[in-house]
Structure 1
Amino acid sequence: MAPIYSPDASAAEPLLSSSTSSSSSLEAPESSKPSRAIEDTVLPETAVLGRNISWTSAYILVISRVIGSGIFATPGSIVKTTGSVGLALLLWIAGALLASLSMMITLEYGCMLPRSGGDKVYLEFTYQHPRFFASTLVAVQAVLLGFTASNCIVFGEYVLYAFGYEVTEFSQKSLALGLLTAITVVHGCFLQTGIRIQNFLGWIKVGLILFMSLTGIYVVLFRVNTGSEVNTLSSQISWNDLWKDSNWGWGTLSTAIFKVSYSYAGLGNVNNVLNEVKDPVRTLKTVTLASLVTACLLYLLVNFAYFVVVPLDQVKEGGELIAALFFEHVFGKEFGRIVLPLAIAISAAGNVMVVTFTLARVNQEIARQGFLPYSRLLSSSKPFGAPMGGLIVHYIPSFLVIAIPPRGDVYNFILDVEGYPGQFTALATAIGLLWLRRKRSDLRRPFKAWLPAVWLRIAICLALIAAPFFPPKDGRADVGFFYATYALVGIGILLFGVLYWYLAFVALPKWYGYRVEEEVEVLSDGTIITTLVNVKNE
């Protein structure tokens, strides 16, 4: 019979992350029943899979998540928006500073609560009342919005383009679904192989951007003929012309800032898998900072390479083709037509691998908490020593989002819906950090976020939540819907989570005279899970 977690145990002395409390917990007699009390979150937990993620692998998990296909497309539109090279480069630095705000929050949480699950762990620990509320909202978002689709689609499109095939909806989706399926199988059946492949793809991506950056420097130092006037290109980065035609209007700048900020998203990716990271606290502190510095430097260098190779008028008018123009000027049309699309495809595939790897762990943690059906099956690491259940939960919505919507506007609309509720999560974690500083000063904090940075992050979240409700000039969104439709749908999903929580844990228990309790069970592979059971009121 599964061991039962007694509700009375929650009234015991809270477990703190001091050395005394940790040792007392770890040295408990074998006859003690396992616990899944929320206070255990402050203790490091090793996954059944073991601690397989080294510092290097953790670094790739972050940097490969941060550096996506955007750096090959967005710089041109950012320069067109800002009007000048100098202002565009300044925004890439500002984007790194803004990313550091959220990074500091996730660092404090991750070092204080070094457990897999990321925001799931932080919200459950911070907002313990109403009971099960935070867990329900996290589970609803994970099931309904936990998909990886955009980079799968990008992969399919650019592979077809590189090899000269027509990009049809069927062929693009087939390649996208093939990539998603292959990555799911690799991560689900061959744990170590999956880690090695995503590490390899991550280093290929970093190496490619570094190669482009060094190419730009080579062009300047040796005055290589790239098909444009060298004097014209040199003037683009001279101080006199660096700020020419700068557009300092806030409305214009805000659009560019959002694009740049998106290029730095993902710095908290390793927080989702801390149970599998070697020396998690030290690794977390060094990996995230190293990844932010690396991304900022590479972004600045590759932008420099674009500006010294491609004339500014082509940069502004080229839109998402700026990288294609770069390769065309340096290596010729034929080479650039093949190499650039393959480079973007590799970048997209690497991003899909690391996102799938981490989100599967989040899903597994949700299942372990008892908030998914068939939680025993989805929590287990059998039969291949990998979170196959979490991968399946991630695979199904990703498959549907890729396969069902038509290419184009409707698909982009779905991606907007995916991202909007995340701003509420970011806001809740930032506010929760301030609340824990006051109410739980007893917790050990190996890293403490700078308070003005936390307040600024809260202000940014509020601005992003409100932004969709300010009408554009034509009053319509790109897909022809009401301009705030994606925000309303995102809020609707959150409200659905609230309604589900109320019915499952408040209304139905009250109507039928029972209460929901947690039982702790140890699966055959050693995974400790929580199951939710209905207990009749006496």
Structure 2
Amino acid sequence: MIPTASLDHAATQPLLSPSPSSSSITPSDETEGQIKLTRHIEDTVLPETLPQGRNLSWSSAYILVISRVIGSGIFATPGSIVASAGSVGLAMLLWVGGALIAACAMVVGLEYGCMLPRSGGDKVYLEFTYQHPRFFASTLIAVQAVLLGFTASNCIVFGEYVLFALRIEPSEFSQKALALGLLTAITIVHGCFLKTGIRIQNLLGWVKVGLMLFMALTGLYVVLFRVRTPEGQPAEQILSWDGLWKDSNWGWGTLSTAVFKVSYSYAGIQNVNNVLNEVKNPVRTLKTVAPAALLTACLLYLLVNFAYFSVVPLAEVKQSGELIAALFFERVFGKSFGRTVLPLAIAVSAAGNVMVVTFTLARVNQEIARQGFLPFSRLFSSSKPFGAPMGGLIVHYIPSLLVIAIPPRGDVYNFILDVEGYPGQFAALATSFGLLLLRKKRPDLQRPYKAWLPAVWLRIAICLALVAAPFFPPKDGKADVGFFYATYAIVGIGIISFAILYWYLAFVAIPRWYGYRVEEETEVLSDGTSITRLVNVKNE
């Protein structure tokens, strides 16, 4: 274990980029000019730099968060959210509530990230907090990251909006072909051209923010100057107090799926936590980037929803599916401009989200491989040949490809949102409880940021509510995606159960049967990346 003095020193010193080595080096490891390489779990409290170096400035880190948060959700889900909520007022309230939920998640991520400034996010935090039973937390995170760490929904939206803009009748093949083409191109760019990929995703992120500002200002213009759009209605009829709450549906069973979709639209507020090894001044950057991005997203979401309701009739909003933004542009600017130029801009926005998600999840996969929890871990841990985590990108690409290519069209998009979000609530519970546990067990750890405890408890309560919510049936007994109302929860629990079974067989039952135990060994690859090998050691 690292002495307290070492922890104090590491936490208070500026986190500048050290030499390009990914090994953890503590002051106690240095003896007579020799450095002992170690990947002990306690070394997580020290900053670490991967061979590719620290390439992410404050603005790049901000784009990683804001472009992850503002994906296709605001362009695709408001229609289904209003359909579930029943009224404009309740729908807007859900968007504000989503920001509060995200803020509770943010403060937990800020304390963890500043305390353990390493790439990997929840993987690092859960491994550090729950070290017993051994390998349990690592296995749960690895299985969820591989099976659920896909980028499919925004690829699907990209294909939908491109076809809509080009006025091509969408077919299953064309939509999937565009989605897979986008995923493949981004994987190649991030895998072969590291700095170019960062520049492209920065550009797309700023384009996205500009697009949302344009939409918000358009909605304000329509209201302030009482512009009547084709087949529209005066905005004041809907935005009056009585109109705001008309037909509100307060049933929690029905609202829970809407809460998931709103929460998904804020998902990614901790995105930069996954890549802290590559962020300049990671602690200082993390403490400012996440709050700035959350405030930006909340304001833009409210203004864009206001624009939708000001222009598109409420009945049409509820029936719009994932094309509400396209309908908005068509009504404001006409079929030519509205159906072509701006929907293409939304497709570009979705592409920007895919870029930042791919960038960060590849790093998470690389960290899982470095810990020895993927086959061919040397290959997937290495940053060769282009100084980027090509192995992590491949691990991300395969499940994403399968999710896009195999399921049929229809309700897949909404179902994917639900399945992605549900198991994450268990990880959120574990990190929130873990934060409280570490406050008690490890007061020696330096915490440059301390979460407000009521926010942590509120996050726990919200996670418990969201875990239980799918099992409260809606009025008609069906979810709004055409499946049995608790299907996504059952699938999510099934994935977690599979991870627990895998851990028990791999690290408890089979080693006991054959008389060995699993131990960790540190190895350094030719590119300087340190990894952990899991080896079987015969019991004496």
Scaled by the length of structure 2, the TM-score of the pair is 0.90
1:379 to 378, 381, 402: 381
Corresponding letter in the other structure for 1:328: E
CA distance 1:328–1:526, change in 2 (3 Å): same
Corresponding letter in the other structure for 2:508: V
Between 502-511 and 102-111, report the one with greater CA deviation. Answer: 502-511
- Percent of aligned pairs with the same residue? 77
Q: In angstroms, what is the RMSD of aligned CA positions? A: 2.5
Matched, 1:207 2:197: no
CA distance in 2, matches of 1:339, 1:371: 45
Checking the alignment, whether the CA contact within 8 Å between 2:11 and 2:446 is kept in structure 1 is no
Q: How far apart are 1:89 and its partner, in Å? A: 3.1
1:49 corresponding residue in structure 2: 52
Checking the alignment, whether the CA contact within 8 Å between 1:15 and 1:21 is kept in structure 2 is no
Q: Which runs of 5+ in 1 are unaligned?
A: 1-9
CA distance 1:452–1:21, change in 2 (3 Å): closer
1:339 to 338, 341, 366: 341
CA distance in 2, matches of 1:247, 1:471: 18
CA distance 1:508–1:452, change in 2 (3 Å): same
Checking the alignment, whether the CA contact within 8 Å between 1:15 and 1:40 is kept in structure 2 is no
Q: How far apart are 1:439 and its partner, in Å? A: 0.4
Checking the alignment, whether the CA contact within 8 Å between 1:47 and 1:275 is kept in structure 2 is yes
Q: How far apart are 1:142 and its partner, in Å? A: 1.8
2:19 corresponding residue in structure 1: none
1:495 to 489, 492, 497: 497
1:7 corresponding residue in structure 2: none
Q: How far apart are 1:356 and its partner, in Å? A: 0.5
Matched, 1:329 2:331: yes
2:250 corresponding residue in structure 1: 249
CA distance in 2, matches of 1:469, 1:87: 22
Q: How far apart are 1:155 and its partner, in Å? A: 1.1
Q: How far apart are 1:495 and its partner, in Å? A: 1.8
Matched, 1:104 2:111: no
CA distance 1:412–1:292, change in 2 (3 Å): closer
CA distance in 2, matches of 1:470, 1:225: 42
Corresponding letter in the other structure for 1:152: C
1:18 corresponding residue in structure 2: 8
CA distance in 1, matches of 2:75, 2:264: 13
Q: How far apart are 1:537 and its partner, in Å? A: 2.3
CA distance in 1, matches of 2:70, 2:141: 26
Q: Which runs of 5+ in 2 are unaligned?
A: 14-24
Between 511-520 and 182-191, report the one with greater CA deviation. Answer: 511-520
Give the match's secondary structure for 1:104: helix
Corresponding letter in the other structure for 2:76: A
Checking the alignment, whether the CA contact within 8 Å between 2:46 and 2:117 is kept in structure 1 is yes
Between 296-305 and 465-474, report the one with greater CA deviation. Answer: 465-474
* Residues 286-342 of structure 1 deviation map (CA, whole Å, 9 limit, x = unaligned): 110000100011112222323333445554554544323322232112211113431
CA distance 1:500–1:220, change in 2 (3 Å): closer
Scaled by the length of structure 1, the TM-score of the pair is 0.91
CA distance in 1, matches of 2:142, 2:35: 30
Q: How far apart are 1:409 and its partner, in Å? A: 3.8
CA distance in 1, matches of 2:244, 2:478: 33
Corresponding letter in the other structure for 1:19: H
CA distance in 2, matches of 1:434, 1:499: 28
2:126 corresponding residue in structure 1: 123
1:259 to 255, 258, 261: 261
The equivalences for 1:366-445 within 5 A come to: 366-409=368-411, 413=415, 416-445=418-447
Between 305-314 and 165-174, report the one with greater CA deviation. Answer: 305-314
Corresponding letter in the other structure for 1:138: I
Give the match's secondary structure for 2:137: helix
CA distance 1:133–1:179, change in 2 (3 Å): same
Total equivalences in the alignment: 526
CA distance 1:448–1:383, change in 2 (3 Å): same
Corresponding letter in the other structure for 1:123: L
* Residues 371-424 of structure 1 deviation map (CA, whole Å, 9 limit, x = unaligned): 111111111101000000100111111111212222224665455333322111
CA distance in 1, matches of 2:236, 2:418: 39
1:355 corresponding residue in structure 2: 357
Checking the alignment, whether the CA contact within 8 Å between 1:405 and 1:411 is kept in structure 2 is no
Give the match's secondary structure for 1:431: helix
Checking the alignment, whether the CA contact within 8 Å between 1:16 and 1:444 is kept in structure 2 is no
